[in-house]
Structure 1
Amino acid sequence: MDSLSQIALGSAVAVAVVGKRSSVKKAALWGALAGTLPDLDVFVDYGDDLSNMVEHRGVSHSLFYLSLLSPLLALLICKIHNELANYRQWLLAIWAVLITHPLLDTMTIYGTQLAQPFSDYPFGIGSLFIIDPLYTLPLLFGLGWVIVKGRSSLAANTAGLVFSSCYLLWSIAAQQHVTQTVQQQLTGKPYNQVIVLPTAMNTLLWRVVVMTDTAYYEGFYSILEKETNIEFVVHPLDLELYRDFQLHPDVQTLAAFTHGFYALERIGDDVVITDLRMGQQQQYAFSFVVPEQADMNARRLPRNLQLSDTLSWVWRTLRGDETAALNQSPHTLTSQVLTVDCAPWPVTEYNNHLLHL
Structure 2
Amino acid sequence: MDPLTQGVLGAALPQATYAGNGSTRKYQIAIAGALGMLGGMAADLDVLIRSNTDPLLFLVYHRQFTHSLAFIPIGGLIVGFVLHWVLGRRWQLRFWQTVLLCSLGYATHALLDTATSYGTMLLWPFVDTRYALNIISVVDPLFTVPLALSVLWAAVRGRPGLARIGLVWALLYLGAGWWQHQTAREMAIALADSRGHNPVRLEVKPSFGNIVVWKSIYEVDGTFHVDAIRPRIASAVIEGDSVRKLDTARDFPWLSPESQQARDIDRFVHFSDGYAAVDPANASRVIDARYSFVPNEISALFSIELAEDARPSSHVRYVSHRERAREQFGRLWHLIAGWVSP
Contact 1:190–1:212 (Cα < 8 Å) also in 2: yes
2:285 to 272, 280, 293: 272
Which residue is equivalent to 1:36?
41
- Report how many aligned residue pairs link the two structures: 319
Gaps of 5+ in 2: none
Which runs of structure 2 are paired with 1:28-67 in the superposition (5 Å)? 28-46=33-51, 47-67=53-73
Which residue is equivalent to 1:251?
265
1:178-208 per-position Cα deviation (integer Å, ceiling 9, x unaligned): 1012113323523322211111211011111
Which runs of structure 2 are paired with 1:190-339 in the superposition (5 Å)? 190-224=198-232, 231-236=239-244, 240-241=250-251, 248-265=262-279, 271-279=284-292, 280=294, 281-291=297-307, 295-304=313-322, 306-322=324-340
Identity of aligned residues (%): 24
- Residue 339 of structure 2 aligns with an amino acid whose one-letter code is D
1:112 to 115, 120, 134: 120
TM score, norm. by length of structure 2 = 0.82
Cα distance change of structure 1 residues 101 and 219 upon mapping to structure 2, 3 Å threshold: same
TM score, norm. by length of structure 1 = 0.79
Cα distance change of structure 1 residues 157 and 305 upon mapping to structure 2, 3 Å threshold: farther
Inter-partner Cα distance in structure 2 for 1:155 and 1:252: 49
- Residue 16 of structure 2 aligns with an amino acid whose one-letter code is A
Q: CA shift at 1:118, angstroms?
A: 2.3
Which runs of structure 2 are paired with 1:166-181 in the superposition (5 Å)? 166-181=172-187
Which residue is equivalent to 1:326?
none
1:87-137 per-position Cα deviation (integer Å, ceiling 9, x unaligned): 4x6555433321210111111112222222223322222221111011111
- Residue 33 of structure 2 aligns with an amino acid whose one-letter code is A
2:167 to 161, 176, 182: 161
- Residue 166 of structure 1 aligns with an amino acid whose one-letter code is L
Which residue is equivalent to 2:5?
5
Which residue is equivalent to 1:128?
136
Contact 1:111–1:257 (Cα < 8 Å) also in 2: no
Cα distance change of structure 1 residues 163 and 189 upon mapping to structure 2, 3 Å threshold: same
- Residue 276 of structure 2 aligns with an amino acid whose one-letter code is Y
2:173 match: secondary structure: helix
Q: CA shift at 1:49, angstroms?
A: 1.7
Contact 2:226–2:240 (Cα < 8 Å) also in 1: yes
Q: CA shift at 1:73, angstroms?
A: 4.6
Cα distance change of structure 1 residues 258 and 181 upon mapping to structure 2, 3 Å threshold: same
Gaps of 5+ in 1: 324-340, 342-357
Q: CA shift at 1:233, angstroms?
A: 2.4
> Which range moves more in the overlay, 240-249 or 292-301?
240-249
Q: CA shift at 1:237, angstroms?
A: 5.1
Which residue is equivalent to 2:148?
140
- Residue 160 of structure 1 aligns with an amino acid whose one-letter code is G
Contact 1:283–1:305 (Cα < 8 Å) also in 2: no
1:12-60 per-position Cα deviation (integer Å, ceiling 9, x unaligned): 1121223637611111111111112111122221442222223211222
Which residue is equivalent to 1:347?
none
1:196 match: secondary structure: strand
1:18 match: secondary structure: coil
1:270-312 per-position Cα deviation (integer Å, ceiling 9, x unaligned): 6311112222424422201135565321211242365443332
Inter-partner Cα distance in structure 2 for 1:56 and 1:200: 20
- Residue 284 of structure 2 aligns with an amino acid whose one-letter code is V
2:188 to 182, 191, 203: 182
Cα distance change of structure 1 residues 309 and 8 upon mapping to structure 2, 3 Å threshold: farther
Contact 2:246–2:276 (Cα < 8 Å) also in 1: no
> Which range moves more in the overlay, 225-234 or 161-170?
225-234
Inter-partner Cα distance in structure 2 for 1:234 and 1:75: 51
Q: CA shift at 1:161, angstroms?
A: 1.0
> Which range moves more in the overlay, 73-82 or 202-211?
73-82
1:284 match: secondary structure: coil
* Cα-Cα RMSD: 2.9
